[in-house]
Structure 1
Amino acid sequence: MLIHPQIDPIALQLGPLAIHWYGLTYLAAFGLFMLLANRRLRHQPFVSVTTPAPWTRRDVEDILFLGVMGVVVGGRVGYCLFYKPAYYLSHPLEIFAVWQGGMSFHGGMLGVMAAMVWYAHSRKRPFLQVMDFVAPCVPTGLAAGRAGNFINGELWGRLADPALPWGMVFQGAGDAPRHPSQVYQFLLEGLLLFVLLWWYARKPRQPGQVASVFLLGYGVFRFIAEFFREPDAHLGLLSLGMSMGQWLCIPMIVGGAALWWWFGQRGVGAAART
């Protein structure tokens, strides 16, 4: 049994300015996106695009800016709608109190998709091409976020068998060992999804298939990780003994698989017509 090290959430104090570890993990996420997206510019089909304009570093910067806005707005609105709709309906002004915490990945994902719709329309680029460009660059940012969760000792896992070698006691979660679910999510939704998606995206695919694999892969890995993550205290487990996170992953899994098949079939049909 391990004890969570209870790391000070403040990484560096400069007078009145406090730099938090969680902020640094977000900075790492943005830096990794820039690095990977610039590498992605050299991949097909993006390196060959000439209309309406070639893909450049400016596109990466604009996508990152819009993506951050989508994550913040969508993540907050999604949390309010998915996890505490009755409370925020009664206290609508607290929706803007982001400093109180409360963000949803699934809401953030919808916010990013909305931002990419706007980006694709404003730049006259195919929406599926934009989403295929972005998708492989996202998982490392998710991994950085889970590292921040672990450092903060938050979003811990469910109770674990005391014999589990890596079972961990978290401050505020009692004296019993728990699954370090933040680490599980770091490995599954972050590193493993990145490796699989980056490998998949390196070969020619039908438009939309890379983004579909992200939906499917994240949905599956998050669904698995939720078996080890402590459900939200105010929700607990819902129908069929599943958490809210698992229920929100089901449309991702079904939709990702269906879209991957449909985009593939559409590509086969187009090839047959030529």
Structure 2
Amino acid sequence: MLMHPQFDPVAIRIGPLAVHWYGLMYLAGFAMFVWLGRRRLRHEPYRTLGWQPRDVEDILFWGVLGVILGGRLGYVLFYKPLTYLAEPWRVFAVWEGGMSFHGGLLGVLLAMAWWARRQQRPWLQVMDFVAPCVPVGLALGRIGNFINGELWGRPAPPDLPWAMVFPAAGPLPRHPSQLYQFALEGLLLFVLLWAFARRPRRVGEVSAAFLTGYGVMRFAAEYFREPDAHLGLLSLGLSMGQWLSLPMVVAGVALWLWARRTPVAL
């Protein structure tokens, strides 16, 4: 049985300025998106369609806005609607924490739809470009969760070699679910998706693979992650994260079937 190292959440202190590890993970995720996006420009069809490095930077800017706004609103609507309905001004209290991946995904979809229309490019072509560059950022985010000792797992058997005690969660050994999600939704999804996207694919196939892959992996990881204390397990013994992942899987399968009907692979 292991003990969580209890990292200092502040990575760097310069006078009154405190830079948190979680913020550094976000910055590292943005940097990796730019690096991977520029490599993605070498893949078809982007290499022959005139995509430029500045497109990667534009997508990152609007994507970050989508993540922040969508992630915050998603948390408010999916996880604590009654709390924020009673105190709506707290929606803007982002320093209190509270972000939702699924809300952030919806925010990115809308932001990319706006950018695609502005650039007169097919929306699914843009999403196919973005999808393989995302999992590394998700992996870094889970490392930030682990450093902060938050979003810990459910109680684990004491003889599980990697079971870990998170002091903030009490004395019980738990699954380090942040690391499970780091490995599944982050590294494994990235490797599979990047390898898949390197070859020409029909429009929508890469996006479909991301939706299905993330949805399945998140659904599985949630069995080891402690449900939100104020929600617990919902209908059929599933967590909110699992219920929100199911539409992703359905949408991914539907998009895949639609994309496979396209006669010509780009």
Post-superposition shift, 1:87?
A: 1.1
Partner of 2:113: 117
Partner of 2:203: 207
CA distance in 1, matches of 2:169, 2:137: 27
TM-score when scaled to structure 2?
Answer: 0.98
Partner of 2:77: 81
Task: Check if 1:162 corresponds to 2:144.
Answer: no
Q: Aligned letter for 2:28?
A: A
Task: Check if 1:33 corresponds to 2:33.
Answer: yes
Post-superposition shift, 1:91?
A: 1.1
Partner of 2:100: 104
CA distance in 2, matches of 1:8, 1:92: 32
Partner of 1:66: 62
Post-superposition shift, 1:164?
A: 0.2
Q: Aligned letter for 1:78?
A: G
Partner of 2:15: 15
1:1-274 pair list within 5 angstroms: 1-49=1-49, 54-265=50-261, 267-268=262-263
5+ residue gaps, structure 1: none
Q: After the TM superposition, which parts of structure 1 deviate over 4 Å for at least 4 consecutive aligned residues?
A: none
Partner SS state of residue 107, structure 1: helix
Q: Aligned letter for 1:2?
A: L
Partner SS state of residue 168, structure 2: coil
CA distance in 1, matches of 2:79, 2:63: 22
Post-superposition shift, 1:258?
A: 1.3
Give per-residue Cα distances to partners, 1:175-205, cap 9 Å, x unaligned: 1100000000000000000000001101111
CA distance in 1, matches of 2:168, 2:30: 31
CA distance in 2, matches of 1:168, 1:117: 42
Q: Aligned letter for 1:237?
A: L
CA distance in 1, matches of 2:259, 2:35: 28
5+ residue gaps, structure 2: none
Q: Aligned letter for 1:161?
A: P
Give the CA RMSD over aligned residues: 0.8
Partner SS state of residue 173, structure 2: coil
Give per-residue Cα distances to partners, 1:22-62, cap 9 Å, x unaligned: 1110011001100000000011000000xxxx211110000
Q: Aligned letter for 1:226?
A: E
Percent of pairs identical after alignment?
A: 68
CA distance in 2, matches of 1:171, 1:20: 20
CA distance in 1, matches of 2:114, 2:253: 25
Q: Aligned letter for 1:179?
A: H
- Give aligned pairs, total: 265
Q: Aligned letter for 2:200?
A: P
Partner SS state of residue 224, structure 2: coil
Partner SS state of residue 8, structure 1: coil
Give per-residue Cα distances to partners, 1:110-142, cap 9 Å, x unaligned: 000000000000010110110000000000000
Q: Aligned letter for 2:78?
A: F
